[in-house]
Structure 1
Amino acid sequence: MLSLSFLLRRLWPLLLLLLSSWPVWAQEPATATPTDGPDCPEACACAPGGQANCSGRALPAVPAGLSRRVRALQLDHNRVRALPPGAFVGAGALQRLDLRENGLRWVHPRAFWGLGALQQLDLSANQLETLAPGTFASLRVLRALSLADNRLACLEPATLGALPLLRALSLQDNELSALKPGLLAGLPALDALRLRGNPWVCGCALRPLCAWLRRHPRPAPEAETLLCVSPGRLTLSPLTALPDTAFSHCGLPLTPWDLAVVYAVGPVCFLASMAACLALGSVLTACRARRRRAAARRRPRRPLNSSPSPASPANPGSPAATAQV
């Protein structure tokens, strides 16, 4: 039987060899750092700092290959006519986006999804006529938005949503006649609003805009260009010259509490009126039926086996009396 000392003498060199090679085979293999695509789209020219210049390249769509390294994307003077959902997928770190003069006609409500870091967006000099609700709602850190020189005739509050950091909004050279109530309420940081070149109508719908302009005075040259084009007696009247008393004939808009009362009381009143009508109809029907029964009881009844009696001579109108005469 082998002794313990003999085994130790035989196995000791092998243990030393294993211990000497431990740092080599025990260390973890190096893993390659995953990349998120090229630094710049293939169709663009790039500069250090994430600048991607795709201007004037006749591009029909947003170029593929956008990555998180792109911080500024210039797509102006191309042929991007529409922005589909997720048009800028992969460019989650994009901060500035220029889409001027593309002939852009349609923007999907989810076109800008994923651009949570976007701060400046220029959509000017395009052919936009409408924008769907929620188009800019995901751009929570947006600070400057230009929609100038388009064909917008209406801009819904839900289109912009709540943009708490937006400071500059350009709506000049469109076809706006008024701004919807609540549009500016979701922009608490707004202090630069470009409005010239629109056919403003000095009606009740312009009251919120005039109130905002009084709270945010414009420089003199810019304020003089904000004019109404109708109605007749107010034609070419400066918007900033319209006091709140000019809208005294306008009804105040309903507050959320008023709307809640209307929606709550309206159905109740409708059901109550229906119940009252049914009850009144039932009462009238019961009264008529009672009158018919009472009239039927007062009417004399003829015996079942009685025969008509001969005419009495006292009745001069009877045939027997006539024959006797």
Structure 2
Amino acid sequence: MPDVECKNQALETLPDSIDPETQVLDISGNKLGFLPQDAFRRAGLLNLQRIHVRNSRLTQIDPGAFNELKNLVEIDLGDNLLTSVPSLALRATPFLRDLNLAGNPIQRIPKGGFEYVPQLVKLDLSRCQLVEIDPQAFAHLKLLESLKISSNRLTTLNNNTVKSLAQLHAMELHDNPWDCDCRLRDLKLWIENENIPHPVSPSCRTPNRLTGNDSVQV
């Protein structure tokens, strides 16, 4: 089945006449701005398994943009202009396994932000502008194996946010301004007790005695 690339062509809408048997579609580097309702269904692309829409100036995704894409397992929305998780649009993709939202100006992840994608295995939220993640943000992600929240503005993270992630095998926390006080103690102990790999150790912003320390301590 064909893979189709339509990268860096200044497209403002999905191109016409794409083979309906296409399983992998890469339309990164365009000027889409908005994914409308039934965007892929109207183009006859119901066999898509992977969609890459990186760096395409996306500011909004209609709740019905991915309607009828029953085989979709990967969506890459990295380096766009989304200010929130497109939770409602993800209702149509219950079997999604890999979601990349890195590099979007998302500041908060609400409770249940990923409730419609319980099959997620990989989630990338790095290089956003996160300042807050609700303790129940990942509550539905029982199968999640990889979580990236590096290079954000997080100062603390409730232990309840991640302790339900029983399948987690990789986590990236570095390049956040962590306040290494007692609130982070449970998180630190959980990471150690569960032996969660984190390739780069996070460092502390405060208190002053720990500033720049290459690992979170309390």
- For Structure 1 versus Structure 2, the TM-score category normalised by the shorter chain is 0.7 to 0.9
Alignment of 1:68-83 (within 5 A): 68-83=46-61
Matched, 1:65 2:40: yes
1-structure distance, mates of 2:28, 2:122: 20
Kindly indicate whether the alpha-carbon contact (under 8 Å) linking 1:43 and 1:54 is maintained by their aligned counterparts in 2: no
The alignment's TM-score, normalised by the length of structure 1, stands at: 0.56
Select 2:15's aligned residue among 43, 49, 53: 43
In structure 2, what residue type is equivalent to 1:235? T
Instruction: Name the structure with the higher strand share.
Output: 2
Kindly indicate whether the alpha-carbon contact (under 8 Å) linking 1:83 and 1:106 is maintained by their aligned counterparts in 2: no
Select 1:53's aligned residue among 26, 30, 34: 26
Residue 178 of structure 1 and its aligned partner are, at CA, apart by 1.3
In structure 2, what residue type is equivalent to 1:229? R
Match of 2:206?
230
CA RMSD of aligned residues (A): 2.3
Closer/same/farther in 2, CA of residues 47 and 88 from structure 1, 3 Å limit: closer
2-structure distance, mates of 1:238, 1:209: 16
Match of 2:9?
none
1-structure distance, mates of 2:97, 2:48: 14
Residue 65 of structure 1 and its aligned partner are, at CA, apart by 2.7
Q: Secondary structure at the match of 1:205?
A: helix
Match of 1:207?
185
Match of 2:66?
88
Kindly indicate whether the alpha-carbon contact (under 8 Å) linking 1:55 and 1:74 is maintained by their aligned counterparts in 2: yes
1:198-253 per-residue CA deviation (whole Å, 9 max, x = no partner) reads: 0011112211221122122546x623xx111101122222335x3xxx4xxxxxxx
Instruction: Name the structure with the higher helix share.
Output: 1
Kindly indicate whether the alpha-carbon contact (under 8 Å) linking 1:140 and 1:165 is maintained by their aligned counterparts in 2: yes
In structure 2, what residue type is equivalent to 1:164? K
Residue 42 of structure 1 and its aligned partner are, at CA, apart by 4.4
Kindly indicate whether the alpha-carbon contact (under 8 Å) linking 2:28 and 2:56 is maintained by their aligned counterparts in 1: yes
Match of 1:267?
none
Residue 136 of structure 1 and its aligned partner are, at CA, apart by 0.6
Structure 1: which 5+ runs fail to align?
1-40, 247-325
In structure 2, what residue type is equivalent to 1:230? T
In structure 2, what residue type is equivalent to 1:176? L
Residue 157 of structure 1 and its aligned partner are, at CA, apart by 2.4
1-structure distance, mates of 2:56, 2:93: 21
Kindly indicate whether the alpha-carbon contact (under 8 Å) linking 2:171 and 2:197 is maintained by their aligned counterparts in 1: no
Residue 108 of structure 1 and its aligned partner are, at CA, apart by 4.6
1-structure distance, mates of 2:180, 2:188: 9
Q: Secondary structure at the match of 1:169?
A: strand
Matched, 1:150 2:123: no
Alignment of 1:231-270 (within 5 A): 231-239=207-215, 242=217, 246=218
2-structure distance, mates of 1:109, 1:162: 13
Kindly indicate whether the alpha-carbon contact (under 8 Å) linking 2:54 and 2:78 is maintained by their aligned counterparts in 1: yes
Asked which structure has the greater RCO (Cα within 8 Å, sep 6+), the reply is: 2
Closer/same/farther in 2, CA of residues 209 and 239 from structure 1, 3 Å limit: farther
1-structure distance, mates of 2:200, 2:156: 18
Residue 73 of structure 1 and its aligned partner are, at CA, apart by 0.5
Alignment of 1:116-195 (within 5 A): 116-195=94-173
Kindly indicate whether the alpha-carbon contact (under 8 Å) linking 2:170 and 2:196 is maintained by their aligned counterparts in 1: no
Q: Aligned residues: percent identity?
A: 27
Equivalent pairs counted in the alignment come to: 199
1-structure distance, mates of 2:215, 2:171: 13
2-structure distance, mates of 1:233, 1:208: 20
Structure label with greater radius of gyration: 1
2-structure distance, mates of 1:212, 1:59: 42
In structure 2, what residue type is equivalent to 1:177? T
Residue 135 of structure 1 and its aligned partner are, at CA, apart by 1.8
Kindly indicate whether the alpha-carbon contact (under 8 Å) linking 2:179 and 2:207 is maintained by their aligned counterparts in 1: yes
1:79-137 per-residue CA deviation (whole Å, 9 max, x = no partner) reads: 21123433322222211100011111133542311211101000001111123322211
